[in-house]
Amino acid sequence: MFTNLVLLQLFDSYFTFKKERQQATRLITGLLFLAFAGLYTTFIIFSTSSADWNNRYIFTHTGKSENKVETVSQNFFQRWKDGACHLYFEFGGRVYRNENGPNNSTLAGVDGQKAVCLDPGLAPPPGMCVIYSFGLSDDWSFDSAMASYGCDIYSFDPSIQHPKMPNNSQHIHYFKMGLGTINTRKDPRGWKMTTLASIRKHLLHSYRPIDYLKIDIEGDEWTILEQILQDGHSLQTVKQIGMEVHLSHPNRLDHYRNLIERLEASGYVRFFSRQNRWMNSAYEMAWFNVNYSLGNQLPISKKSGWKEEEEELLFNNKFPPIV
């Protein structure tokens, strides 16, 4: 009997000790997790401070760090910020063939695609995203891909006589006009041109972010970029920009570089750049707005009722005159 009582006490002490040990283990694990979470949060806060965003990334070119000061050259337009965007995807693009390559060879490549960063805070939210696409040349591949992704696309090109809309065109709204520095019904080429600010105002997008701004306008991008930078407001609520730049005039490389540096100094981080397959003097470049990266969201003002007005335009396909 005495032996049984001793055994029972020993078993009871063992299970009590085991239970207390499990509780202590859970407590220690919880404290360690909280400590780790605190350190991680502190790291994120300080690493995403808007005060040092321009120094958070290292410029790379063909995967190697660039520590030397470059002269004005095409290398400036080829490099990008290493690790700026952890996940990007090139939407759109069509395969082109050139039968007159070097030594009678045939060249093939894809053109028309644009890189879109899909990191948190930057990725266009499917079902809610708005894309502006300037410059088509009847290549709807990017617009169609983004429509399939779940965005509403506003496409602009004054040069298309008979647009061939893609199958998912119910999410693509086409306007026969171009991106200009002033509003005019007829420029020297006979095209209707409108400023970005005017387009956003008349489509009721002045008070909401534009998820992606695509500019592929065959050399006119430099005058447009200069005008937008002078405007100072049109780009504040643009999350990402994808632009094909043309270095058609070597004697203006200083001017081109200055415009890009002004864009990046305003808060845009270059996360993608590559030479165009078909034009040695053209580059596909992409940037994101640092104010939207890693949850560092930019405050957006809203006017009363803007969402309802926009939905009415979308569902009834009624758009106010822009010019």
CA pair distance 92, 140, nearest whole angstrom:
8
User: pLDDT digit string (tens) for 119-168?
Assistant: 999 999 999 999 999 999 889 999 999 999 999 999 999 998 888 888 77
Q: What is the dihedral of CA 306, 312, 315, 318, to 10 degrees?
A: -110
145 DSSP 8-state letter = H
CA pair distance 186, 20, nearest whole angstrom:
83
Backbone angles phi, psi at 199, to 5 degrees: -65, -45
Instruction: Provide the token pair at 171.
Output: 């999410």
- Radius of gyration (C-alpha) of the chain in whole angstroms: 27
Handedness of CA 310, 313, 314, 316 (dihedral sign): positive
Tell whether the model's pLDDT for residue 102 goes beyond 60.
yes
pLDDT band at 309 (very low <50, low <70, confident <90, very high): low
In degrees, rounded to 5, the angle at the alpha carbon of residue 131 between the alpha carbons of residues 305 and 160 is: 115
Side-chain-facing half-sphere of 97: CA atoms under 13 Å: 4
In sequence order, which ranges of the chain are alpha helices (DSSP H)? 2-47, 75-78, 141-149, 196-202, 221-231, 253-265, 306-316
User: pLDDT digit string (tens) for 192-232?
Assistant: 999 999 999 999 999 899 999 999 998 899 999 999 999 87
pLDDT band at 260 (very low <50, low <70, confident <90, very high): very high
CA pair distance 102, 17, nearest whole angstrom:
81
Backbone angles phi, psi at 251, to 5 degrees: -75, -5
Q: What is the pTM of this model?
A: 0.72
Instruction: Provide the token pair at 188.
Output: 């020297």
Q: State the first-to-last Cα distance of the chain, in angstroms, to the nearest integer.
A: 102
User: pLDDT digit string (tens) for 74-95?
Assistant: 688 888 777 789 999 999 988 8
Question: Which helix (H) or strand (E) element contains residue 5?
Answer: helix 2-47
Cα–Cα distance list, 292 to 47, 53, 114, 313 (Å): 14, 12, 19, 27
Tell whether the model's pLDDT for residue 278 goes beyond 50.
yes
